[in-house]
Structure 1
Amino acid sequence: SMKVALELFKDYQGAIQTDGYAAYGTLEKIKGIIVIYCWAHARRYFERALKHDKARAEYAMTIIGMLYDVERI
């Protein structure tokens, strides 16, 4: 829950990578914390978007794929 996340990171300063769990969204409000999200979870939304806006969804998935390529190196 939000209370647990706030308590766990109350003295933390830096970046926190999350999977998009809503409770972590509150961490964005704490000065000194930068919340970064997981591309694998974000990519799922672009996969769903293929049905509605294929060209832009494919473009986004290509860019995400390029990021994955960099991480493999």
Structure 2
Amino acid sequence: MPFNPNITMAELISLSRRPGAPDPGVEVEETEDFERMERDVHGALRKPPTWDSKARTGPGMLLHSAAGCDGCS
């Protein structure tokens, strides 16, 4: 079954239960194009980030206050 980004998870599960559905898994054709893409991805992952992450590294006060927590005062 070719990849379809517009299918819902419910539809995918329903299709997988039909008789004759393909076995679960991913089939990858490792052609020259795939190998080139794989090398490019690995090369990009070895480079340092080009922007500073704004991701939170801890729970922060926002989550506590949103849940009604006053910080154990």
TM-score range, shorter chain: under 0.3
Q: Which has the higher strand share?
A: 1
Q: Which has the higher helix share?
A: 1
